[in-house]
Structure formats: C-alpha cells, structure tokens
Amino acid sequence: MKILLIQLRQLGDILLTTPVIRALHEHDTNVVVDVLTYPMGKLIIPGNPLVHRHIVAPQKGVLESLRFVRELQKYRYDAVIDFMSTPRSAVMARLVKAKTRISFATGRRAFFTHVIPRDDHNEYIVREKFKLLRPLGVEANDVRLMLPWGDGDAGAPKMFYADHPHLAASKRRVLLSPTHRRSERKWPAQSWATLARWLEKKQDAAVIWAWGPGEDGEVAAIQSLAQGAGIMAPRLSFRELAALAASCDLFVGNSNGPSHVAVAVNTPSIQLHGPTKAKSWCPQTERHRAIQDVSMAGISTDSVQAMIESMWPLIDRGAADLRAFGSICCSDDIWRVRPSLAK
C-alpha cells in the first residue's frame, strides 16, 4: 500500500506527525509512506528510515502547483491523509486521485472520502492525528516523536561544551527557550531572567539559552536582564539543537518548536502555555509537564520554580544516567538512557 501524508507546516506540527509514520509501519511492514511538506520539513524528515520519499511542495505559484500535483499523480497513491485540511492541502489531496482520502471534518469535506470529527484539541495532538488512521484499520498508541540525528549533529554541541567546561561538569544542565514567533505566546522577558538567576544562584544548575534564526538579539537581551546568568548556545541547526537538548537534564520553554524537540529526545521538560492548550501540545507525563494560565503574563515564576523543584528527583536520576553514558548520545541511544514516555 502506498500512502501520502500531507503536513505542509509548521516545524512542530511536522514533528508531531512523525509517530503516524511509525504506526503505519507497525501495522504493515510493507507499507510505503511518503511525506509532503513545505521546505521547512527538510529539517525533520530526511534520514527517517521509515519514510520512502520526502516530497517538498512549492509554496507559491498556481501553475507551478498544478505541475507539481501532476507529478504526484504519477506515484499512484492508494491513500492520502491530510492532517491540515486547508484549502491548499485539500486541493492537493483531491487532485492526487487516491481511492482513499482522509482528513478532519471541515468545510472541505467534499474533497475527502473519509472525514473524522475533531475533538477541539482536548487531547495530545499526536493522539488526535492517530484518529485519521482508523479508516485504514490502524490503531496506534506510541506517541514518541521521530527526529533522527547522529554523531555529525553532535559536533557543534561538543565544541560548545569544550569552550565552556563548567557546563560539561555541572551537576544540572537546564536549557531555556524563551522565544516564539507570536508575542502573546511568550513568557515575559523579566520572568525568564528571574528564573535563570534562581537556577544558577539557588539550584546549582547551569543555564543554557536556546535560540533560532533571527532570535539571538532577543535572547541576548533577556540574558542581560538576567545579569549575565547562563550561556548563549551557539548557532545550531535543528538537529544540532536536538543533540544539545539530549545532553541537558531539563528543558523549560514556551510552546514552541524546541519544546517538541525536547520531547523528541525525552529530556524532562516544562512547557508554558497561555492562549494555547497545554493538553493539546504537551504529552503531560511524569517527564513532560505544562503550566497553563489565561495569559503568559499570568504564569508566576513561583509556579515554575515549584514545578522544577518537584521534578528534581526525576531529573537528578536521569542526569546521573546521562553522565554515566556520555555527555551526548545519538538518537538511537537516547531511549536506552531515558525510558520511553509512551510504553
């Protein structure tokens, strides 16, 4: 059976779709799974051994899009699963001409042969995505995210630790991710600064500031508010960020792409949510927790500190295992060091 999965964007959404690929292969080892994304998917999908073909969709141009869909038709898919059901993705799904076309129920239901009602994001989004597998007779439960990375991606983090030996030797390493592309989804800068100082001064923890393209100035300003607490991470690719997150003992961040990377490498994590629903975007297990308020400004530093303190026993056990194994593990090894969150 040949199946096309459509998840054009965003980075976090693409990463949260990867458990579906595993579920399809566990159901049928002979299945052929192709994944269709915008160019940003190149940061996540290539190297996944369960993906037959990663297809990059054009983002602009009607004629170019039509030519692109005609190429897709040549692959003769048996089924298409559209996780977005936007006007663009739905048209692509329909024009592929697969016998089975599945998506969530929207105003574009006429484009699909099977539509599944949404649950208004009342459960972890990975489990919601699993519902689209039911018309294919597939039941799934393993919500682990798949982000392949290896020794080549660990080079930059290793050099970073070599330049900052106190980080490599620290009892606790905490990765902070204070950014988001939407301002209403950011915890206030002063709160991040207060948290960083508390971690260093009161909790014997080394702080590393994570940042992405175009975010270095914003994060440097927050570090300045923190009176220099913490060390700015170097410029990293998405998979190098995974290697760095895997080497840390705790991640604290807004509900952003790096928060899903932390989940992917099973580093204990705390997500901060205001307008976004924590139950949708965080697995909410012993290892991965969330704090929810009406607004990000409503989340107090005391509540974040209290959650961190409640997690120290778990974190410290994992830190000892990680130090014994090595500072940085490749993606194939990390699950031996940190037990699965799903099984």
| Residue 262, CA distances (Å) to 80, 87, 152, 227, 292 in order | 29, 32, 19, 26, 18
Query: What pLDDT does residue 65 have?
Result: 84
Q: In the chain, where are the structural domains located?
A: 2-136, 151-337
Ramachandran class of 210: left when φ > 0, alpha when ψ lies in -120 to 50, beta otherwise: beta
CATH of 151-337, one of 3.90.550.10, 3.40.190.10, 1.10.3720.10, 3.40.50.2000: 3.40.50.2000
Tokens of 69: 């869909």
Neighbouring-strand partners of residue 5: 35, 81
Phi, psi of 55 (to 5 degrees): -110, 130
Instruction: Please identify, in words, the CATH class of the domain defined by 2-136.
Output: alpha beta
If the chain, 343 residues long, is cut into consecutive pieces of 10 residues, what is the mean pLDDT of each piece? 97 96 97 98 94 94 86 96 95 95 95 91 91 98 91 90 91 96 97 98 97 97 98 96 93 97 95 96 96 98 98 88 55 50 36
Query: What pLDDT does residue 183 have?
Result: 96
Q: DSSP string of 108-173?
A: TGGG-SEEE---TT-S-HHHHHHGGGGGGT-------------HHHHHHHHHHHHH-HHHHH-SEE
How many residues make up the chain in this entry?
Answer: 343
Query: What pLDDT does residue 323 have?
Result: 67
Neighbouring-strand partners of residue 269: 251, 288
In the numeric block, the tokens 């915008």 are attached to 38
Query: What pLDDT does residue 121 have?
Result: 64
Establish whether domains 2-136 and 151-337 are of one fold. yes
Query: What pLDDT does residue 152 have?
Result: 86
pLDDT in tens, 106-153: 999 999 999 999 877 689 999 999 999 999 999 999 999 999 888 888
DSSP code, position 234: P
